[in-house]
Amino acid sequence: MTTDVTIIGAGLGGLTLARVLHLHGIPATVYEAEVSPTARAQGGMLDIHEDSGQPALRAAGLMDEFCGLILEGRQAIRVLDPAGTVLLDKADDGTGGNPEVLRGELRQMLLDSLPAGTVRWGHKVSGTRALGAGRHEVTFADGTTVTTGLLVGADGAWSRVRPLLSPATPEYIGMSYVETSLFDADTRHPDSAKAVGSGSLFALAPGKGFLAHRERAGTLHAYVMLARPRDWFANIDFTDPAAATARIMREFDGWAPELTALLAGGDTAPVLRPLYALPIEHRWERQPGVTLLGDAAHLSLPNGEGANLAMYDGAELGEALAAHPEDIEAALTAYEQAMFPRSAAAAAEGVQVHEMFYGAGAPHSLITMMTGHEQTP
């Protein structure tokens, strides 16, 4: 394959694509806005699915390295009600198929698998334009440009590549989460640590809830979910962590203290994460020399599929390009024709999962989904 490959975004999807291409002897360059791999925290735990994330890692030849990152016992699940009553306590018996790893460690594994210089850090894209004949120009914030015969947007929700293919923009879904962490929780936050258990915690009610994961060294990564308009959150000053925390906590009056302490006792400042989604059936007409993967292509409600699908997209696109090294358009067509229905099905399922988590039947609807047995309040 002689066409130069330019990937925008060094997230899990873009790096998986670069790795699969590398295995097939196809060089690629990844441009990333962050100035270094450690420029910001990379998020919390990811469960890597048997039917998506794991096949992608096999295609990337990294299963042995991946297995070394798995945090044993983290597939345990606890579901609590607002009073702190345990409604479901499912231990990790070793038979679960979706092992948990830390996103940052998974990303570093992918970075380490690539030739030096593959990722160009500190390259924030300011614009893209078509030059004709399948070639595109990418302009960076510092005014420099690069032209390429194959441009892949792996640059997330607010992709700068997407406008070349689609006018769609993400829309706020009516819910945001507030993220924080608790360190050395077994010693410093024992009640919250006990509530979370050895894996994941879901403490839910209609339109709100607490989610938490146990990471390494006693760290709890917590998320407060709240269905409110963007304007409601805009009136909270997150530059004042104490005031922001107090305002969010008023929405959880009466909840068990071991749950509210997941935010009120946080050791990091609360970070607001508004949630957006693209249309479920988002797709585009084939345009020469450019495509999208991951959230840039199919941003959806958070349902545990996002990172897995991004990696799967990357692996599938890499395999398609390797199978059609002299016919880029055939490769992109094959990739997109499989990706569109796959991502639409996952997005539709995500809407259902979101309703089970935060709809009128929460938390009992979630337990029904997990156990297959109808639950009543």
Q: Which residues are annotated as a binding site for FAD?
A: 47, 103, 295
114's torsion region: left (phi>0), alpha (psi -120 to 50) or beta? beta
Q: Dig out the tokens for 360 from the structure.
A: 């009128």
CA-CA-CA-CA dihedral for 177, 180, 186, 188, to nearest 10 = -130
Residues marked as binding? 40, 47, 103, 295
CA 128 to chain centroid: 24
DSSP states of 290-356 as a string?
A: EEE-THHHH----SS-HHHHHHHHHHHHHHHHHHSTT-HHHHHHHHHHHHHHHHHHHHHHHHHHHHH
Residues marked as binding for NADPH? 40
Pairing type for strands 220-226 and 208-214 reads antiparallel
Do 136 and 328 form a contact (C-beta atoms < 8 A)? no
Q: Dig out the tokens for 203 from the structure.
A: 């403490």
What's the CA gap between 137 and 151, in Å, rounded?
9
Measured from the Cβ of residue 67, the count of other Cβ atoms closer than 10 Å reads 11
Backbone angles phi, psi at 101, to 5 degrees: -140, 165
| Helices 12-23 & 103-112 angle (0-180, nearest 10) | 30
